[in-house]
Chain A
Amino acid sequence: QSALTQPASVSGSPGQSITISCTGTSSDVGSYNLVSWYQQHPGKAPKLMIYEVSKRPSGVSNRFSGSKSGNTASLTISGLQAEDEADYYCCSYAGSSSVFGGGTKLTVL
């Protein structure tokens, strides 16, 4: 149950696109198409943004997209907006458990 690996921080200017990577192992990310991404603003509960690698829940902007290759999943946010500034966490099913990434702080410059 080792945490998935994410960059500690990423940044981008309004209107630009950024990508956050999430690297796991063949026991979690690599074995299941069950990667999800969560957005968390300071002092708030996490919010589901992407599930099953690339699906968006109802109400989530189509500026958010997900993908996966091998043991690494990615979250891309296009057309960055000020309100996208938050912490982002990936999560993968790992067979009877789930494992989160360490989180990435997104700064919108």
Chain B
Amino acid sequence: QVQLVESGGGVLQPGRSLRLSCAASGFTFTSHAMHWVRQAPGKGLEWVALISYDGSKKFYADSVKGRFTISRDNSKNTLYLQMNSLRAEDTGIYYCARDFRYYDTSGPFDSWGQGTLVTVSS
């Protein structure tokens, strides 16, 4: 069965950097685009970034553009999110999610990880 396991979350000060990972298994990772979605404490879902199946296309929410970088290593079935210049408003649970269709990037998100918590606080 499809499994997505995020890791790398933690507590850190504003301005610092963090890299999240998402280990995928149970499906052909190289055939699916992947997304990061976050959720601030007690708030709604916010789409963060997507990467195409082969890593050639990357798109970001305006709120993270220029600070976050999405990447993937298809040889390791792993998705990453490099987060730089972190702000308090970046605090939340970060989920990785699989794009439903082969080779598409338009969603929906049919499988989700359990999330990893990032807390940015001085």
Contact = CB atoms under 8 A, between A and B. Distances in A.
Interface residues of A, number: 26
B interface, how many residues as a size bin? 20 to 34
A36 B35 CA distance: 15
Contacts of B110: 48, 51, 57
A45 B108 contact: no
A32 B44 contact: no
Q: Per DSSP, are chain B's interface residues mostly helix, strand or loop, or mixed?
A: strand
Contacts of A99: 47
A1 interface: yes
In the complex, which of the residues B60, B107, B115 has the most CB atoms of chain A within 10 Å of its own CB atom?
B107
Contact of A45 (B63, B95, B100): B95
A86 interface: no
B61 interface: yes
B107 A34 contact: yes
Given A34-B107, A100-B46, 13 more contacts: A1-B61, A3-B46, A34-B108, A46-B95, A48-B108, A51-B108, A52-B108, A91-B109, A96-B105, A97-B61, A98-B50, A99-B47, A103-B45
Shortest Cβ-Cβ A-B pairs, 6 listed: A36-B108, A103-B44, A45-B112, A51-B108, A98-B47, A93-B106
16 contacts: A1-B62, A34-B107, A36-B108, A36-B109, A45-B112, A46-B45, A46-B109, A48-B110, A91-B108, A93-B106, A96-B105, A97-B60, A98-B35, A98-B47, A100-B46, A103-B45
